[in-house]
Amino acid sequence: MSNPIISFKTISKSFPGVKALDNINYDVMEGEIHALIGENGAGKSTLLNILHGIYNEYEGEVWIAGKKAAFKNAHDAIKAGISKVHQEVSLIADLTVGQNVALGHEPKKGPFIDFNTLHAKVDVILERLRCKFRSIDLVSTLSTGEMQMLSIAKALFHESRIISFDEPTAALTENESRALFEIIRELKANGITVIFISHRLDELFQISDRITVLRDGKYVGTYHTAEMTRQKLIQSMVGRDVAAFAERQKLGLKTNEIVLEVKNLSKTGVFENISFQLNKGEILGFSGLVGSKRTDVVRAVFGADPKTAGNIYMKGKKVKIQTPKQGLKHGIGLIPENRKTQGFIHNLTNAENMGLASLEKFSHLGFINHKQKIDNCNRLTKELQLNPKDPYYMTYNLSGGNQQKVVLGKWLTTDVDVLIFDEPTKGVDVGAKAEIYRLMEELLAAGKSIIMVSSELPEVIGMSDRVMVMHEGKMIKELQRQELDEETILHYAMGGSEYKS
């Protein structure tokens, strides 16, 4: 390894009431893939924002390639060769790929944009990234993975020497992630320094050279990836021992009583002939690759989307569920994949969000009993270990894990029997993940049943009693707990046929 290209020297940054970063000191070497990890709120994003010039007021110094950097804004950082590939890709859908890549730096011919040069230049970069799309394509025609490539193309367009990736694989399929890693390795081979943030530890071990751990705004250490184990890494992140956290503590809660039965559920062009049973006290996992339509199936069961055929039975009785209201009435709740757009409501407080689906319970002749609503929130806050404990706190300002708890609290208030978790720990840090798993088990013990859609195989394997594997809208295979391992699930998820006798 060569010289340090980035040196953070005694960096501290405070927000009103919070010390986000406290005396951070470490170097990133030129040409390495350097992972940065820590729980949500550990200060990773704040540190990156300082590096990228988004925050320009902080204590300490950042040195880039031996020179002190003083970026006034993100633009300065880009000019100095430091680019960011965003967590949630922000692109202008109605412009072409080339226009997005060059936005604000278009080559000009006189007063006009020189589109020929622009597209030619961008196409060269796209070819280098082995993209199938071209500079003249509209961004709205691209998939999520392709949009991510576009962000990388943007960084290369600006001839960046340092590129940071903030949770780049969060929205990608396995294949897309693999392709991305190859690109990242190629960037490294070309001497580009990569900073990589991810919650998925497996990825860090696959790709990084060194790993820096932050905890509560403080620097914990920088380690050579080859010398680290998963267990040691988790310990240094959380400062405590969270042994194999996606692991069931209590098995055998599953009973023979069938709570929910779905028969031949179809939605033309999306999924067909889906049948399954859910027993009381079990976690039924739904696994499959992106595009296997798992989410579509559970949304149709809950009534969020229409279905074209099939029947749903609750405790043996046929029920009609065409709207979420009917789903709720028959005892089904959905904790959706995207908290911000589907889970909680940003202008409501914790108490209001938690009470939203069951206000009928807290009201008389349409008038809300405020005290009951607050009491309910306080009770659940305690049960779910929500932090902060203020029922008037705006849910919007909570961390990802705590927001998820509020959405969960909303459904616990309703007393539904079946809870559908769609990607329950997406964007949730390690500590909160463990708590959510623990809560799921407590729910089972309290007589509830859970359907869990998840893309994280360790989670599916660790938590499920049974797993339904889907592929392109079809139910391929039902696996019992003892049959679960990554290879088997992936084999069926990729459309494989029976191969074990």
Partner 1 sequence: MNLLNRLTKGMGREIGLLVALFLMIAIFALIDPIYLSPGNLLDIVDQSTINGLLAIGITFVIITGGIDLSIGSIMAIVIVSVGWFLTKQGMNPILAIILGILIGAVIGLFNGLLVTKFKLQPFIATLATMSAFRGVAYIITNGWPVLNIPQNYRDMMDGDLVGNFPISIPILLAFAIISHIILKKTRTGTFVFSIGGNEEATRLSGINVDFTKMVTYALCGVGAALAGMVMLARLGTGEPAAGQGYELYAIAAAAIGGTSLAGGKGSILGTLLGALILSALKTGLVVIGVDSFWQYIAMGTIIAVAAYFEIIQSKFSGFGKRLSGKR
Site for partner 1, rule CB under 8 A: 16, 302, 304, 323-325, 327-329, 334, 336, 341-349, 352, 355-357, 359-360, 363, 366-368, 390, 392-394, 396-397, 410, 414
Nearer to partner 1 by C-beta: 188 or 426?
426
Both tokens assigned to 117: 């040069």
Q: What is the 3-state secondary structure (H, E, C) of 484-498?
A: CCHHHHHHHHCCCCC
Neighbours of 236 (CB within 10 A): 18
Nearer to partner 1 by C-beta: 183 or 394?
394
User: Is 266:307 a contact under the CB 8 Å cutoff?
Assistant: yes
Nearer to partner 1 by C-beta: 65 or 368?
368
Nearer to partner 1 by C-beta: 98 or 427?
427
**CA nearest 170: which of 347, 284, 30, 40?**
40
For the CB of residue 350, give the shortest distance to partner 1 in the complex, in Å.
9
Nearer to partner 1 by C-beta: 407 or 432?
407
- What contacts 189, CB < 8 A, 6 or more positions away? none
Round to whole Å and give the CA distance between 272 and 264: 7
For the CB of residue 285, give the shortest distance to partner 1 in the complex, in Å.
22
For the CB of residue 380, give the shortest distance to partner 1 in the complex, in Å.
15
Nearer to partner 1 by C-beta: 57 or 487?
57
Nearer to partner 1 by C-beta: 133 or 393?
393
User: Is 348:325 a contact under the CB 8 Å cutoff?
Assistant: no
For the CB of residue 338, give the shortest distance to partner 1 in the complex, in Å.
9
Residue 437's alpha-carbon distances to 38, 97, 202, 332, 418, in angstroms, are 19, 41, 19, 19, 16
Nearer to partner 1 by C-beta: 190 or 323?
323
Round to whole Å and give the CA distance between 274 and 284: 14
**Cα end-to-end span (Å), the chain:** 50
For the CB of residue 177, give the shortest distance to partner 1 in the complex, in Å.
28
Residue 349's alpha-carbon distances to 259, 382, 436, in angstroms, are 33, 16, 21
For the CB of residue 16, give the shortest distance to partner 1 in the complex, in Å.
7
For the CB of residue 414, give the shortest distance to partner 1 in the complex, in Å.
8
Amino acid letter at 126?
Answer: L
For the CB of residue 60, give the shortest distance to partner 1 in the complex, in Å.
22
Both tokens assigned to 255: 């009973």
